[in-house]
Amino acid sequence: MTIIQAEGLTKTYKSKSGPVHALAGLNLSVPQGTVKALLGPNGAGKTTAVKVLTTLIKPDEGTAHIDGIDVVNNPKAARRIIGASGQYAAVDENLTGFENLEMVGRLYHLGAKTARKRAQELIDQFELTEAGNRPVKGFSGGMRRRIDLAGALVINPKILFLDEPTTGLDPRSRLALWEIISQLVNDGTTLLLTTQYLEEADHLSDDIAVIDGGKVIAEGTSDELKAQIGGHRVVVTLVDEADAGAAREILARHGDGTPTVSERTVEVSVVDGPRALQYVLSDLGQANIQLHDAGMRRPTLDDVFLKLTGHRAEDEASKNDAEMEKAQ
């Protein structure tokens, strides 16, 4: 059964440099109990999509339903069954971790006793004891993230939205959060998460929607997406960078697309991996080009992204991280 359904969502923002089409006809459908990743670079429209689905903003056009509830016309009913954690941890700095979670429980109308009990459970489950009794101010980004995420789980929601849950976290916190998210998913919660990290989408989700320019440009399991861009890739590493031009020509002859060159490494996607590798090696041998390394590999999601959008996703993500670190 489809539990999240969006059709033809558009949202245009005005900006100084003209209108920005944050959503440009986004369609999305998520079956109950599955995890869908919205994968896209910075500015792709991920946050805007999540904001529409979590009732924070109204789309200009299109419809969105969660569990059969129209989120545009009946936001309050939608809010009763969702948990959401936005791109930036939204916790009250002056409250303790416990007070933050208890407040969320009260505002879900769980009643005073249940809200307190639930807050304590989450503190224990998320190992937030340290932040339980002290104001959140002064705790690390990872800790705030966990409190925020715990806030999204207070009612054990039927549908959970996480917008870039691990962006800006150090690798250790990221792994810890992955662990938590994987556990949730085992409980049968439907999860829509956004990420700039191909690895994260691959690791956490059943299904990936690649989003760019406010639209879904490709969709499927990570294997399906990889298959979409053809089979293998042939990669050779040269001893001498001066040979790169010649090697590039040879790879172009046997490849399925334009080879890419990065210093001494040249690579191209091919239809039939082993066969192409043989031809490439024999031609390189004839041209007397010395090899440091050669082989073939399965495409990664990064390749998918490059192929679909013409730009790499990881570059943007790591640039983003660098900026976040600087800001801190």
Partner 1 sequence: MTAVSQPAYESVGSPLSQLFSDGWIATRRNLIKIRRVPEILVFTILQPIMFVLLFSQVYAGAMNVPDYVNFLMAGIFAQTVIFGSTFSGAAMAQDLKDGIIDRFRTLPMSPAAVLIGRTNGDLVINSISMMIMMGTGWLVGWRVTTSVWGFLGGVAVLLLFSYSFSWVMALLGMSVRSPEVINNASFMILFPLTFISNAFVPIHTLPEVLKNIAEWNPVSALVESARQLFGNTNPDFPEPTAWTLQNPIITVILGIIVMLAIFVPLSVKKFKSISSR
Ligand X SMILES: Nc1ncnc2c1ncn2[C@@H]1O[C@H](COP(=O)(O)OP(=O)(O)O)[C@@H](O)[C@H]1O
Question: Which residues are near partner 1 by CB under 8 A?
Answer: 33, 51, 54-58, 76, 79-82, 84, 86, 88-95, 99, 103-111, 114, 118, 135, 148, 151, 154-158, 186-189
Distance (Å, rounded) from C-alpha 65 to C-alpha 157? 16
Q: Which does residue 110 touch among ligand X, Mg ion, partner 1, none (CB within 5 to 8 A, set by kind)?
A: partner 1
Pairing of strands 35-39, 207-212: parallel
Contact with Mg ion (CB under 5 A) among 27, 87, 228, 300: 87
269 binds, among ligand X, Mg ion, partner 1, none (CB under 5 to 8 A by kind): none
CA atoms of 15 and 227, how far apart (whole Å): 38
Q: Judged by CB under 6 A, does residue 252 bind ligand X?
A: no
Binding positions for ligand X, 184-203, rule CB under 6 A = none
The full DSSP string for 198-266 is: HHHHHHH-SEEEEEETTEEEEEE-HHHHHHHT-S-EEEEEES-GGGHHHHHHHHHHHSSS--EEETTEE
Contact between 47 and Mg ion per CB under 5 A: yes
Is residue 86 a contact point for ligand X (CB under 6 A)? no
Q: Where are the beta strands (DSSP E) in the chain?
A: 2-13, 20-31, 35-39, 61-66, 69-70, 82-85, 159-163, 190-195, 207-212, 215-220, 233-238, 260-262, 265-269, 291-297
54 near Mg ion, judged by CB under 5 A:
no
Which of 39/234 has CB closer to ligand X? 39
Within 8 A by CB and 6+ apart from 121, the residues are none
Which x/- pattern over 21-50 shows residues binding ligand X (rule: CB under 6 A)? -x-----------------x-xxxxxxx--
- Closer of 153 and 209 to partner 1 (Cβ): 153
Query: With respect to partner 1, which residue has the nearer C-beta, 117 or 203?
Result: 117
Query: Which residues contact ligand X by CB under 6 A?
Result: 13, 15, 20, 22, 40, 42-48
Query: Which residues contact Mg ion by CB under 5 A?
Result: 46-47, 87
